[in-house]
Structure 1
Amino acid sequence: GIEEALEQQRETQRISLLFERFLNPDRVSMPDFDIDFCQDRREEVIRYVQQKYGRDQVGQIITFGTLQARAVLRDVGRVLQMPYGQVDKLSKMVPSNPANPVKLADAIANEPRFAEEAEREPIVQTLLDMAQKLEGLYRHASTHAAGIVIGDRPLWELVPMYRDPRSDMPVTQFNMKYVEQAGLVKFDFLGLKTLTVLDTAVKLIRRRGIEIDLAHIPLDDPDTYAMLSCGEVVGVFQVESAGMRKALIGMRPDCIEDIIALVALYRPGPMENIPTYNARKHGEEEIASIHPKIDHLVKETQGVIVYQEQVMQIAQELAGYSLGEADLLRRAMGKKIRAEMDKQRERFVSGAMERGVGKPQADFIFDLLAKFADYGFNKSHAAAYAVVSYQTAYLKAHYPVEFLAASMTLDMGNTDKLADFRQDALRLGIDVVAPSVISSFRAFEVAENRIFYSLAALKG
């Protein structure tokens, strides 16, 4: 309702999130709409959007699968009627690297057995020649896993459409790149397992007659921060890794801003600043002043520039940029285009000098911003993930039985994770009852201070 919207607006302003980082009049391209939903209810959201805007105004986006080295060898080998075992052996000689697929020509150059096989059987050389000519061509059409487009009119008026036999939703014949050029806005509707864990835990807690509204839990709960400061983070979103745990123990967070900063800092490059942030937070190191006009903008991050939004705010306050212009500055710094950087430096320095800042200091601050803009993080993204992280920590601190049971249910296919959750439950004095046809169910269930093991989680 209106009251909740106003409360969210106040919270956004308190955390200093900038709408202009998302959308502004000077922006030349549309922003990315990546929205996480409970993975069990993602289809429900898509149905809602169809009902809200009309089924002919909502569609999925086509993707094209290409013939990569292994696949093209198999397909051509089948057409040449070569024995399956022979083709399988040849295709497995190509290194498997889905993230950075190996070209067939490179595989042939680096694997002497290809030449040996081709010399022994001429048809193998024919296979290799044909496969290299076909490699990279489109093999099949599919649909983008998460992408949805929403139009202000029937989509067929804007782009060509087709019907995927596996879906009842219309699909654009343009891929993601050309859909955006046609003027449509792409949304990624993503399923996030953690949101399903939270929903499951809240339902388990409700059985005790306790109603939890995660949107309104206190963000300053001492027990939650005490637990995080001790590194008790099994099941806590975003902070389970050994490195994050170490950073949390060093930080000893006591406010949501600390969690937001940690989410933003814990990446290659920025993580070098975590010890500085922690030392300054606990008074072990003095916070160095950048300039009196802008020190208040980096106060919450202990004088460290962490967020892209801080770069924008500094440009606004120190050099008179509008937030729209400041977003263009941030993008230029990120791309490091020499001509654009020189133009922005002149604009920044002259604007700062008009406001009483000396040229050497203005140049220094511009260079400082350029360095941080290279790996500065979007604060809105960090804040959203930090709040979800805090919600998982809050439930674990106050309702560990229900939280761990929900976590185990959503990871029941992962025996390593189940072992971690079980060990954590025992550490907390929670009894994990062995599976039984009498007391166990499909999901992990709770009663008093016990978790009943799921029958569906059993192997074999």
Structure 2
Amino acid sequence: MVVKSVEFKQTQIPVQALDCLTGNGFRQGDGGSLPDIDTDFASNRRQEVKEYLERRYNMNGKQRVFSAGTYSTMKLKAAIKDVCRVYKVPVSYVNYITAIFEDDNMSWTDLFMFATTNKKVNKFVQDYPQVIEDIRGLMGQPRSASVHASAIIVTPNSKDGEDMECFDFTPIKKVDDILVSELDGYSIDETGLLKNDCLGIKELAKIQSVIDESNRVYNAGISFEGLVRSGLDDEKTYRILAKGYTQNVFQFSSAGMTKFLMDMQPDCINDLIAANALYRPATLESGSTQKYLDCKRGEVAPVYLWGTYNALKGTYGQLTYQEDLAQMAREIGGFSLGEGVNLVKYISKKKVEKIHAMRDKFMSGAHEKGCPKEDADLIWDMIEAGGSYIFNKSHATAYAITSYVGAWLKANYPTAFYTIALQWADDKELPLIMSEMEECSSAKVVPPDINTSAEKFFTDYRTNEIFWSLGKIKILGTKAVQYIIDERTKGGPFKSIENFIHRIFKYKLKKYEYWDDADNEQEAVRVPVNARHVKNLILAGCFDKVSNISAVVERYSILDKAATELGFKIPTGDYPDHLINQHYFWSMQQIEVCGIGRIDYKRIYDNSYCRHQFKGRASYSTVHNALLSGSEGKKVALCATVTEMEEISYKDKKTGERKHLCKLHLQQNNDLIKLVCWNDFYIENKTELQDIKGKIVIVSAIVKYNDYSGGNSLNTYKTSRLFTLNQSSENQINQEDGSTKK
């Protein structure tokens, strides 16, 4: 199965997959049910596909196209709350009890098992037995109806020689002018109707945007279909994946998958297909993933049982795909194609009786074909165990090809790729994307510029500079940004901060008294830019170039000029003398208002009051160096900003005691690392850790490899030290040289 494009409205829509066998058309065969059509479209064009289906099949006044319905069911917490409301149990008590249940998918029996280990839940069960009895019949019942996110059904034009519409096949209702079946998607399958799962995938829209940008800037002449038909063998593409440059590549950007690809060192599309199927919890637990890696790297020779070579030669003897299971059932056990498909279904749904019936048939067929009984037993055990975790190969192929196309664009047109990646990314993804971009491409993100930046990230392809988005500056909305850009387009580049204010505020006759002065309604309508916007634009660095400043500490002079033009003077308390000449202070202001900025953490560490505390105990390290594999086991001192703090409780395996730890997310500009603060350290520093988010810290820790994330993290040890640096205290950080460069 291949990724292809569907021609539509004289354009092409990338389509991800068709998970179906279409040799005899879409007919119900001996597999017992119709094949599913699973097609993923670019998210911004899914509606066009639905409209096309309606135009194509709703002909001659007939209504043949509708959406499948879906139902949410009553789960434990909702059932308890609803029934307790009837019995007038205090709401606060009910909320307290339901908050104890971490798993909302518990069955009625699970509730009693949980009550045997939790005294509070046990008391609730004893105090309100009628509530517990009444929820038994409610759990699992439909709670609310809605429209299925993707399933679209097209009914036949006729049946038994009579004209038919959708209303003749299944009950239909109208929801917000959309025809929706009363049956859910699974029930639709059982009626014999063909279900089309048409999903809108954001990744496909992103890929098409990169293709369009590459064609616009570089005249690349590429298309989604052309890349798929190119041979899928570009060395640069596999090289960046093998090195772990996977940010914003579909299916491959998680830390665990990145580590898996680095271990695998993929060099062909089959490796990417296998990666999509193998890196899943159940497969990892089965050991198949590690066995594949061992064979791929030549450390272990693959072993093939009798008759399995044809099915498993592409996966080094590991059962990986549903199609391989069905093939083994046919070639070894003498099953038909439909019986092989059914075997996959029975195993995945744990239908024990039917599986046992299939086993007898398989063993008989294997004996007739000459398979030794020992091998037949082992093969059946492999089939029965693998059926619960193996993946659909056509689905994995579609995912892998989509991943390859994204990685190809990153390898061959990195600046265009990262431009689109930044435009689509949320705030949490930005540091990771920028960090990778600096390592594997010539593109670089630069601060916003009032005469260059746009509402979205804008790229100067001559210099490979990606200018930070004006829309990412705090409180600067779409109207304000568009107003500034319109004035720049109409009147030319802004020449200074004074020129900017005179041109932007030309309709405002009043003078401001402070940054936060409110505008009246008429002013806000005519000019959506206010004094606070000007302040944030300056702090973000938008006027650095036009003001010819060489250091971020000079931004105070721009602020002072702006305040004077707007009619007030800056209170001395806003920018204390001991901070006004410090590089890190202005960098933190920039990060606060727009998310970009470079802090010289080494300079802060060198000038800190606590530096001597680490002498001889830990050596200073950057986050980037701590993440390198060669740093494992080293005791390091880091200076970084805390972006997140998570508190976690756990049970000590030795004592059974309930303990606590916390995880700090540390950031040095674009580099991120996690610090695990273990129980003793957490208790000792609990007061300081409670309000640590957003602060600069200096901490000593040991670098350890984390199997879960597939990379290094930091862990506190017995003599670890933590110091929080308070911006307002001149005693903590010595004065910095005012000439520090950006």
TM range (shorter): 0.7 to 0.9
SS in 1 for 2:69: strand
* Greater share of residues in helix: 1
Aligned equivalents of 1:114, 1:354: Cα separation in 2: 58
Cα 1:180–1:313, aligned 2, differ >3 Å: closer, same or farther? closer
Superposed CA deviations along residues 272-324 of structure 1, whole A, max 9, x for unmatched, are: 22332222223222122312x43233121112121111122222222333322
Cα 1:403–1:172, aligned 2, differ >3 Å: closer, same or farther? same
Identify the structure with bigger relative contact order (alpha carbons < 8 Å, sequence gap 6+): 1
Aligned residue for 2:321? 307
Gaps (5+ residues) in structure 2?
6-19, 157-163, 476-742
1:94–1:104 Cα contact (<8 Å) kept: no
Which of 44, 48, 65 is matched with 1:44 structurally? 48
Using the TM superposition, give the Cα deviation of residue 224 of structure 1 relative to its aligned residue in structure 2, in angstroms.
0.6
Cα 1:308–1:61, aligned 2, differ >3 Å: closer, same or farther? closer
Cα 1:445–1:75, aligned 2, differ >3 Å: closer, same or farther? farther
User: Which residues of 2 match residues 109-188 of structure 1 at below 5 A?
Assistant: 140-152=144-156, 153-164=164-175, 167-188=176-197
1:420 aligned onto 2:432: yes
Q: Which amino acid aligns with 1:443?
A: K
Residues 253-262 or 227-236, more deviating: 227-236
User: Which residues of 2 match residues 228-307 of structure 1 at below 5 A?
Assistant: 228-271=241-284, 272-291=287-306, 293-307=307-321
Which of 318, 331, 334 is matched with 1:320 structurally? 334
The higher radius of gyration belongs to: 2
Aligned equivalents of 1:282, 1:196: Cα separation in 2: 35
Which of 464, 468, 471 is matched with 1:456 structurally? 471
Using the TM superposition, give the Cα deviation of residue 226 of structure 1 relative to its aligned residue in structure 2, in angstroms.
1.0
SS in 2 for 1:159: coil
Aligned residue for 2:384? 370
Aligned equivalents of 1:193, 1:213: Cα separation in 2: 17
Using the TM superposition, give the Cα deviation of residue 221 of structure 1 relative to its aligned residue in structure 2, in angstroms.
0.5
Using the TM superposition, give the Cα deviation of residue 135 of structure 1 relative to its aligned residue in structure 2, in angstroms.
6.2
Using the TM superposition, give the Cα deviation of residue 176 of structure 1 relative to its aligned residue in structure 2, in angstroms.
3.2
Aligned residue for 1:61? 68
Q: Which amino acid aligns with 1:160?
A: P
Superposed CA deviations along residues 86-111 of structure 1, whole A, max 9, x for unmatched, are: 85785465329797257999699779
1:333–1:373 Cα contact (<8 Å) kept: yes
1:316–1:326 Cα contact (<8 Å) kept: yes
Superposed CA deviations along residues 204-246 of structure 1, whole A, max 9, x for unmatched, are: 1111222211222230111111111111111111111222122
Using the TM superposition, give the Cα deviation of residue 23 of structure 1 relative to its aligned residue in structure 2, in angstroms.
7.7
Q: Which amino acid aligns with 2:30?
A: D
Aligned residue for 2:220? 210
Superposed CA deviations along residues 154-173 of structure 1, whole A, max 9, x for unmatched, are: 21222232222xx3321223
Aligned equivalents of 1:363, 1:103: Cα separation in 2: 35
Aligned equivalents of 2:180, 2:291: Cα separation in 1: 50
Aligned equivalents of 1:345, 1:38: Cα separation in 2: 43
Superposed CA deviations along residues 7-49 of structure 1, whole A, max 9, x for unmatched, are: xxxxxxxxxx9668x9872122334433221111111111111
Name the % identity.
Answer: 32
Using the TM superposition, give the Cα deviation of residue 65 of structure 1 relative to its aligned residue in structure 2, in angstroms.
5.0
1:277–1:304 Cα contact (<8 Å) kept: yes
Using the TM superposition, give the Cα deviation of residue 408 of structure 1 relative to its aligned residue in structure 2, in angstroms.
1.8
1:334–1:370 Cα contact (<8 Å) kept: no
Cα 1:421–1:308, aligned 2, differ >3 Å: closer, same or farther? same
Using the TM superposition, give the Cα deviation of residue 439 of structure 1 relative to its aligned residue in structure 2, in angstroms.
2.1
Using the TM superposition, give the Cα deviation of residue 403 of structure 1 relative to its aligned residue in structure 2, in angstroms.
1.1
Aligned residue for 1:12? none
Aligned residue for 2:728? none
1:159–1:172 Cα contact (<8 Å) kept: yes
Cα 1:157–1:89, aligned 2, differ >3 Å: closer, same or farther? same
Aligned residue for 1:11? none
Using the TM superposition, give the Cα deviation of residue 265 of structure 1 relative to its aligned residue in structure 2, in angstroms.
0.7
SS in 2 for 1:183: coil
Q: Which TM-score applies when normalising by structure 2?
A: 0.52
Superposed CA deviations along residues 36-71 of structure 1, whole A, max 9, x for unmatched, are: 211111111111111111172111233345666776
Aligned equivalents of 1:371, 1:260: Cα separation in 2: 21
Q: Count residues in correspondence.
A: 431
Superposed CA deviations along residues 81-137 of structure 1, whole A, max 9, x for unmatched, are: 99xxx8578546532979725799969977959999xx9xxxxx9xx8999699667
1:345–1:363 Cα contact (<8 Å) kept: no
1:225 aligned onto 2:226: no
Cα 1:211–1:60, aligned 2, differ >3 Å: closer, same or farther? same
Q: Which amino acid aligns with 1:389?
A: S
Aligned equivalents of 1:147, 1:97: Cα separation in 2: 33
Gaps (5+ residues) in structure 1?
6-16, 120-124
Superposed CA deviations along residues 168-196 of structure 1, whole A, max 9, x for unmatched, are: 32122333344334433333322211111
Aligned residue for 2:574? none
SS in 1 for 2:147: strand
Aligned equivalents of 1:19, 1:99: Cα separation in 2: 41
